[in-house]
Structure 1
Amino acid sequence: MTKRPRHLHVYTDRHGQERIYLRKPGEKRVPLTGPLFSYQFWEAYHRAAQSVAVAIQTDTQPEDRNPAGSVSAAIAGYYGSAEYKQLADSSRSNRRRILERFRKEHGTKSLAKLETKHINAIIDKKADKPAAANELRKLLHIVFEYAIGAGMLTENPIKRAKRVKYVKRSHRAWTDADVEAYRKRWPEGTLQRLGLEVFIHTGLRRSDAVRLGWSHVKDGWITITTVKSRHRKTLNIPIHPTLWRHIKDTPRNQGTFLHTKWGKDRSAKGATNWIRDAAHDAGLPSDSSPHGLRHAICVRLAEAGCTPHQIQAITGHDNLAEIETYTKAVSQKRLAQIAMDSLANPQSGLANIDANILKMLEALALPSGIEPLSPP
């Protein structure tokens, strides 16, 4: 049997294709030609290994990359800060990806000489990608605030820098028709069906849903600590009867409910592709994602009359304002129905609805303790 070389990463992707990479610690992974152990593989492997070795020999020392007082030094310092280390793994990865791209282009520049006009010029270059421009602005603000605290900077040039206006695109919430079509395509007993029921009956983020298993279930409750929230929190969610029907017969020795067909834990990104593919097979739109199912449960809870705080107790949202978009929409729809019914039947007296009912409808859009939108 041929011995596999060191630092080799081999796996089969979701399309059944074999992927081979040379991945040495601290270096970028290099894709290699397959199949494994073929002539083409060995040729590609030795060529890649030699290239990586040369890159390591000619690479500059870490301290040369971060001269004192430079933008690069501030970014490197931020990576070592408590603020950065306390972020979830996915958040650290996303921030590092954006900052490293900026660092590569502007890292050697003097931090003290960086002015608002320079930041505006950088943002202007990203005007065709407003979301990315604003995200970069936000991260640079965080890094420069760290630099001020570390004595590397006296004033944050980001504070007066421009923001690019744009309409934020949200994830499409699944409709009842979408859910019905999905269930019709994927019957009980399939992993795809289980995936739908887990997402729509827990409201969990994909990063938490893929971790869900029997270790989180006890006495009719799901207890799980979220991994993506700014401040990690433990959620206690009562198990819906429909969800229980789908999970009760799953093997108790299986680590997670939403495992792959090979029995391995599924990644968050993998779960998105998996649900989208299953939804596509069911004839649903291409933007049918797990996050859309999270939106769907918020809409259902709002339609059931739940307050923002009650919905937050299920979904674990950090910000009540996000939830209020659902409850306000439901309140508007109900009030609009009353108004139109009153117009169709003026003698019904529906427009003179009792003040207590109006307060109840307004409460759907506001957390307890906040004054109503209209005076009593």
Structure 2
Amino acid sequence: MPRQRHKAKVTLPKGVHRVVSRGREYFYFQLGRGTDHAGERIALPNDPHSPEFWTAIRQAQGSIGAVPVDTLGAVADEYLLFLKSAGTITSGTFEQYQHSLRLAKTAWGSLSAKGLRPVHVQAVMDRMAATPGAANNFLSSMRAFSTWARVRDHIEHSLTEGVKPYAKDQGHKPWTPDQIEAALTKLTGVIRRGVILYMYTGMRGSDAVRLGWTDVDEGGFAKTTQKKKRDVWCPIVPELAAEMATWEKRPGPFLWQEGGRADGHRYTRKLFSKHFAEERDKIPELAGVTLHGLRCTAVIRLRRAGLSTGQIGDIVGMSLATIERYCRFADRKISGKAALQTLTRTSEEQNCKTTQNSKTKT
């Protein structure tokens, strides 16, 4: 039986009570509970981690008197509600914003939003120096939050002006031919199938886990990308077609969980990445590879096949700048090899002696 995960405990403010009935949690707001002067009992949302929960608390508190609504915590909750209602970002991106703003609320939740300055954001960045990727995600979320809050007069100054992200490393590297060979020969089942989809389509994980037989359209996959909401048509190359010929035709996505109580259930991007990592760590040749590296591998393969940057973008749903970044090493390597061939040929021509240019003895 899989271990049940529990979210971090939340400290409830005065007047908020938790009740467990028939195995379910319920929350409500009531001042003076159990006394002769008990106030009105107001039901609250059942998830204390959601922005709706804290907004409902402030509304309930406001019903019995004025309460401050200009704290960083209150403004952050309003921003999260705005993102959720706008529906312009994916659930994964929303979770990233939610996590980052949870860090902000932990640090300054009870402080006035208008009193915050970039020095406060920099202090959090400094504390996160050991995890630069997470720190940069936090800074990115705070930039977006700061822009939204400033034009609505929740804050008076940018919260991120002058705060610099940590330098990026080399990023996700493409897989080598030996790594691809090891994956195809040593991985099995749905994990191998997923690697094949990632490698031959170049799609993001959030799109690859949703691919299924119903997406096949005239020799390719027709799909609207989850993150950018961009319509793409990805050709099914012969290598992928040969693999697909062995797959069962059934409703739903190509990638489904195998075994246990979750057997047959859909994969999320995060869960598939987790299961892939578990299998990858058993194969020494795959040490350090990432699924996102296969996206880079696919782009380089398409570039070497002679496709333009625009054509590749239409296939994988990627920005032109990202494609150029992914191809920078491959292009330099190809150019270097071409230059070597030119230099070698020129050298051979210079050293070549013919009857016309060589001296002959008479």
TM range (shorter): 0.7 to 0.9
Report the counterpart of residue 248 of structure 2 in structure 1. Answer: 251
Report the counterpart of residue 180 of structure 1 in structure 2. Answer: 181
* In 1: Cα distance, 2:286 partner to 2:227 partner: 27
Report the counterpart of residue 332 of structure 1 in structure 2. Answer: 332
Report the counterpart of residue 277 of structure 1 in structure 2. Answer: 278
Does the CA contact (< 8 Å) of 2:232 and 2:314 recur in 1?
Answer: yes
Q: Counterpart of 2:115 in 1: which secondary structure?
A: coil
Does the CA contact (< 8 Å) of 2:29 and 2:57 recur in 1?
Answer: no
Identify which of 229, 233, 256 aligns with 2:230. 233
Q: How many residues align?
A: 308
Report the counterpart of residue 142 of structure 1 in structure 2. Answer: 144
* In 1: Cα distance, 2:112 partner to 2:216 partner: 54
Offset at residue 216 of structure 1 (A): 0.7
Offset at residue 57 of structure 1 (A): 7.6
Report the counterpart of residue 359 of structure 2 in structure 1. Answer: none
Report the counterpart of residue 163 of structure 2 in structure 1. Answer: 162
1:316-355 equivalences in 2 (<5 Å): 316-317=317-318, 319-344=319-344, 346-348=346-348
Report the counterpart of residue 106 of structure 1 in structure 2. Answer: 108
Offset at residue 164 of structure 1 (A): 4.0
Q: Answer yes or no: is 1:18 the counterpart of 2:10.
A: no
Amino acid at match of 1:112: K
* In 2: Cα distance, 1:182 partner to 1:133 partner: 32
Q: Answer yes or no: is 1:292 the counterpart of 2:293.
A: yes
Q: Counterpart of 1:204 in 2: which secondary structure?
A: coil
Identity value in percent: 23
- The structure with the larger Rg is 2
Offset at residue 104 of structure 1 (A): 2.1
1:44-59 equivalences in 2 (<5 Å): none
Does the CA contact (< 8 Å) of 1:276 and 1:287 recur in 2?
Answer: no
Offset at residue 238 of structure 1 (A): 1.7
Amino acid at match of 2:337: Q
Offset at residue 349 of structure 1 (A): 6.5
CA offsets 1:284-337 (integer angstroms, 9 cap, x no match): 3332232121111112112222222122122111x3222112333233223322
TM-score (norm 1): 0.71
* In 1: Cα distance, 2:74 partner to 2:80 partner: 10
* In 2: Cα distance, 1:333 partner to 1:81 partner: 46
* In 2: Cα distance, 1:210 partner to 1:177 partner: 25
CA offsets 1:13-40 (integer angstroms, 9 cap, x no match): xxxx4334689xxx969xxxxxxxxxxx
Report the counterpart of residue 210 of structure 2 in structure 1. Answer: 211
Change (3 A) 1:219 1:342: closer
* In 1: Cα distance, 2:170 partner to 2:333 partner: 22
Change (3 A) 1:108 1:329: same
CA offsets 1:107-162 (integer angstroms, 9 cap, x no match): 11112222233333333333333333332222222112212222323332322x32
Change (3 A) 1:208 1:28: farther
Q: Counterpart of 2:74 in 1: which secondary structure?
A: helix
* In 2: Cα distance, 1:142 partner to 1:178 partner: 38
* In 1: Cα distance, 2:283 partner to 2:331 partner: 32
* In 2: Cα distance, 1:326 partner to 1:21 partner: 37
Report the counterpart of residue 90 of structure 2 in structure 1. Answer: 88
* In 2: Cα distance, 1:115 partner to 1:21 partner: 36
CA offsets 1:194-226 (integer angstroms, 9 cap, x no match): 222211111111111111111111332211111
TM-score (norm 2): 0.74
Q: Answer yes or no: is 1:152 the counterpart of 2:158.
A: no
Offset at residue 255 of structure 1 (A): 1.3
* In 2: Cα distance, 1:346 partner to 1:291 partner: 41
Change (3 A) 1:205 1:106: same
Amino acid at match of 2:57: P
* In 2: Cα distance, 1:307 partner to 1:209 partner: 23
Does the CA contact (< 8 Å) of 1:74 and 1:147 recur in 2?
Answer: yes
Amino acid at match of 2:74: A
* In 2: Cα distance, 1:136 partner to 1:349 partner: 59
Q: Counterpart of 1:305 in 2: which secondary structure?
A: coil
Does the CA contact (< 8 Å) of 1:279 and 1:285 recur in 2?
Answer: yes
Offset at residue 169 of structure 1 (A): 4.7
* In 2: Cα distance, 1:133 partner to 1:282 partner: 31
Amino acid at match of 2:335: L
Amino acid at match of 1:19: R
* In 2: Cα distance, 1:147 partner to 1:54 partner: 29
Offset at residue 272 of structure 1 (A): 1.2
* Higher deviation after alignment, 69-78 or 150-159: 150-159
* In 2: Cα distance, 1:245 partner to 1:285 partner: 24
Offset at residue 227 of structure 1 (A): 0.9
* In 1: Cα distance, 2:28 partner to 2:83 partner: 32
Structure 2 segments unaligned to the other structure (5+ residues): 11-19, 32-47, 49-53, 351-362
Structure 1 segments unaligned to the other structure (5+ residues): 1-16, 30-45, 351-376
Q: Counterpart of 1:100 in 2: which secondary structure?
A: helix
Does the CA contact (< 8 Å) of 2:142 and 2:159 recur in 1?
Answer: no
